Amino acid sequence: MLADYRRSDFSHEGTTKPVYVRGDGPAVIVMHEIPGVTPKVVRFADWIVEAGFRVYMPLLVGEAGREPTLAYGLASIARVCVSREFAVLASNRSSPITVWLRALARHASAETGGGPVGALGMCFSGNFALAMMMEPCLKAPVLSQPSMPFCVSRAHGKALHVSPEELTCLKQRCLDGEKVLALRFKGDPMSPASKFETLRREIGSAFEGIELEDSCANPDALQKQAHSVLTEHLIDRDGEPTREAVTRVIGFFRERLRGGTAATNAAPAAIPALAASRILP
């Protein structure tokens, strides 16, 4: 599944992690969810490549290409919770790993001719894209089911997992014209509506939130609670809202990184045209 990707090790300030790279065009950093770079995360990355982008997919935890299981997921959650790289309960600061990710964004920009970079995080990595906006080359942040800080209280549910400095930077960049796209299932307790409410309050019209009905999720997924919009709970079939959400993500990257629009740039053959009225609140 990863045979078409080039693996390299990227190091910054003593931290080294493998990164899987494929494609040509503007850079997009795809940050996986728990438990790791699963086959469906690779499938999503393939769609981004087919849309004309160069994907950089770091392995933050877990194993590359391994199918998810309950035991594997629990082991990855445990590693995230105890690792100093991830501050899972931090409301007003980001995880230390975002420093490494910002360096990766600079590296990806340099490798693609100094152009803009997109970043998409999923679940525990969802809000990392907000902290990465401290890096000027980061132009297209996408948050799929952002879950950190983990929702152990109402305050945690509202928090964005960024420092005051990072939030100030994000707000200024949005005032200067940048946008933020985020996705979640409406009933997902791991990625509560309160996080989207905070984003709407903090950055206003610069925030685009896509919230899908839980009934749109793949019923055959290992996890029965609808959660993974772009991967495990996606139904890979024309007309499905989760597939349309993928199309919107691709359109967002085109708009922000290429200066085009979803209407003037055809999506890959596997992805249908966006029917926005079906998935936007």
SS3 74: helix
**CA distance readout (Å), 117 to 38, 62, 90, 132, 217:** 23, 25, 26, 10, 29
Cβ contact 233:226 at 8 Å: yes
What type of residue sits at position 144?
S
pLDDT along the chain (281 residues), means of 10: 96 97 98 97 98 98 96 96 94 96 98 97 97 98 97 94 98 98 98 98 98 97 96 96 98 91 41 37 36
Domain assignment present for residue 30? The answer is: yes
Nearest to 55 by CA among 14, 130, 5: 5
Q: Is residue 81 part of a domain?
A: yes
- Is 148 domain-assigned? yes
Count structural domains, the chain: 1
CATH number at residue 113: 3.40.50.1820
Which residue range forms the structural domain that includes residue 105? 6-279
What are the tokens at 145? Answer: 């089911």
Q: In 3-state terms, what secondary structure has residue 271?
A: coil
Residue 1 lies in a domain: no
Q: What is the DSSP string of 193-236?
A: HHHHHHHHHHHGGGEEEEEE-GGGS-TTSSS-S---TTTTT---
